[in-house]
Amino acid sequence: MDDLHGEQLSEQLRALEERLARDYSDVPPRTVHRCVEQEAGRFSGARVLSFIPVLVERAVRPKLERGFVGT
């Protein structure tokens, strides 16, 4: 059984979003938020939650480095 619960996942994603916003201060915070939400949404319904923050971070950082502006 996965030991990470939905509430803990939300906390970790919020912390990730704050960290990314600091690391990419030239990107508007709402863009960082949108990127994190979009990527996390790919994992909705996942049975194992433990790795979602890491997978989201690995997908979002390159987008922010390229100056990605999500729609």
Contact 28, 69 (CB under 8 A): no
Q: Which residue has the higher pLDDT, 42 or 69?
A: 42
For residue 12, the model assigns a pLDDT of: 96
pLDDT > 50? residue 18: yes
Average pLDDT for residues 59-67, to the nearest whole number?
91
Distance in angstroms (rounded) separating the CA atoms of residues 12 and 18: 10
pLDDT > 80? residue 2: no
pLDDT > 80? residue 40: yes
Confidence (pTM): 0.85
